[in-house]
Amino acid sequence: MNPVLKACLLGLLPVSELRGCIPLALYYRISPVYSFLMCVAANLAIIPIAFLFLDFVHHRLIGIGVYRRLFDHFVKRTRRKAEKAIERYSYLGLILFVGIPMPATGAYTGVLAAWLLGLDRRKASLMIALGVLLAAFIVTLVSLGGIGSLHFLLKQT
């Protein structure tokens, strides 16, 4: 499979998003600028898709026990992590929540938080997008250091 496609697909997955996409793209020696841009584009595509899912598909699936339990688990975790930041800093809190690359934070969780808290869709989408850009910048910088070190170590052996 094409390395660009592999990286973009990894960027669309909720468990990895940018934290998986950018390091993989850099590992495949895709330029840092192109890696940044393609992974941000893949991650930004999540925003409208996730809102559409929550608005139209979620209500049809909530009656399925396994789905309901998983969804309830994600709702509890998202509320616990996001509510304080968003209540304290409003929309800036949403940028920080999405933009600081920690486990279980990212575009998917940002959309879920905005949806649960009834935030204005346009403002929330913009803040999530800004958070994606911040996270991509951080992940790219950290990955460049890590990938550079890995390549250096591999050349030494």
Q: 11 and 17 in contact (C-beta within 8 Å)?
A: yes
Q: What are φ and ψ of residue 55, in 5° steps?
A: -75, -35
Cβ neighbors of 99 (< 8 A, separation 6 or more) are: 130, 131, 132, 133, 134, 135, 138
Cβ neighbors of 98 (< 8 A, separation 6 or more) are: 105, 106, 107, 109, 110, 127, 128, 130, 131, 132, 134, 135
Q: Could you report the per-residue pLDDT of 46-74, keeping only the tens digit for each?
A: 999 999 999 999 999 999 999 999 999 99
Q: How confident is the model at residue 152 (pLDDT cuts 50, 70, 90)?
A: low
CA gap 79, 109 in Å, rounded? 10
- The amino acid sitting at 141 is L
Tokens of 47: 């925003």
Stated as kind and residue range, the H or E segment containing 118 is: none
Q: Using alpha carbons, select from 101, 103, 104 the residue that is nearest to residue 132.
A: 101
Q: Could you report the per-residue pLDDT of 17-34, keeping only the tens digit for each?
A: 999 999 999 999 999 999
pTM above 0.85, yes or no: yes
